[in-house]
Amino acid sequence: MTLYIGLDLALTSDYTAIAIVDKGLTPKLDPAGRPSYPGYLLNLDTCNVTYDLVHLERYSLGTNSIEVVRKVKEMIGGPAFFNRDYQILPDSTGMGRPIVDQLRLAKLHLIPIVITAGSEETNKDGFCHVPKRELISNISIMLDNHELRADKFLPNRQILIDELKAFKLKISLAGNDTYEAWRNEGAHDDLVLAAAMAAYWAKRHGHAGELGKQIVTNPWLKVPGI
């Protein structure tokens, strides 16, 4: 039961955005709607892997790096993260790197993401380089297959939907993704990127959760305003 936190760090005229994907396990059911196996143990034989968007948030325009780090630390220390594993996936492309350095100094668990126009994922100097094409194709497939779920009452869900509708993947004349054109078209796409990074890491790298533990209620449901 791990929380994956996509963190899109703002350019001057954009929002810093957070999207959290909760990767967990739910029991496999028989035709009568009962668990297929006796007991309620979480393991890959008795359960299906699930991916739920449990939090979407934009910080106010102009929020500085010190305040961003403070807010992230405050969130990690909150009740929704009690006894939970987490990974922060900050966008470290360009202007995001100074904030990544501050997050590292705060001793938070993070895997910095550098978005590239390449064709495969690589790791270099503590940064994971991920093709934009992979980020977008992964979240598109997960949404199309109803694999990535979001409650209809989730705050900022409609903003994410609107961003997804407006989003267009641009291909340069050379056949490569053009990152700059994608981010500098005037329309906000911060929640799309945050959600894409969280979903990508949860799907491609994240473990399925703490096996053998009892099923518990999603702690996000207990937090006022979420």
Question: Is 80 within a domain?
Answer: yes
Question: Is 226 within a domain?
Answer: no
More confident residue, 20 or 45: 20
d(CA 138, CA 199): 8
d(CA 2, CA 17): 19
d(CA 48, CA 201): 18
Cβ proximity of 115 and 106 under 8 Å: no
Number of domain units in the chain: 1
More confident residue, 174 or 5: 5
Question: Is 225 within a domain?
Answer: no
Listing from the earlier edge strand, what are the strands of the sheet with 17-27?
Answer: 85-90, 2-8, 17-27, 47-58, 148-150
More confident residue, 133 or 154: 154
pLDDT at 220: 41
Query: Phi, psi (5° rounding) for residue 122?
Result: -140, 165
Question: Is 223 within a domain?
Answer: no
Question: Is 92 within a domain?
Answer: yes
- Give the predicted TM-score (pTM) of the model: 0.80
Cβ proximity of 152 and 54 under 8 Å: no
More confident residue, 224 or 45: 45
More confident residue, 10 or 195: 195
Domain span including residue 202: 2-217
More confident residue, 28 or 77: 77
pLDDT in tens, 157-166: 998 888 877 7
Start-to-end Cα distance in the chain: 19
**Where residue 172 falls among pLDDT bands split at 50, 70, 90?**
very low
3-class SS at 221?
A: helix
| DSSP string covering 129-198 | EEEHHHHHHHHHHHHHTT-EEE-TT-TTHHHHHHHHHH----B-TTSSB-HHHHH-SSS--HHHHHHHHH
Structure tokens at 97: 């790197």
**Among residues 111, 75, 101, 72, which one has the least CA distance to residue 198?**
111
Cβ proximity of 204 and 23 under 8 Å: no
Q: What is the CATH number of the domain that holds 22?
A: 3.30.420.240
In the predicted model, is pLDDT for residue 22 greater than 90? yes
Question: Is 120 within a domain?
Answer: yes
Question: Is 6 within a domain?
Answer: yes
DSSP state of 71: H
d(CA 32, CA 49): 20
Mean pLDDT computed over every residue of the chain = 79
pLDDT at 112: 94
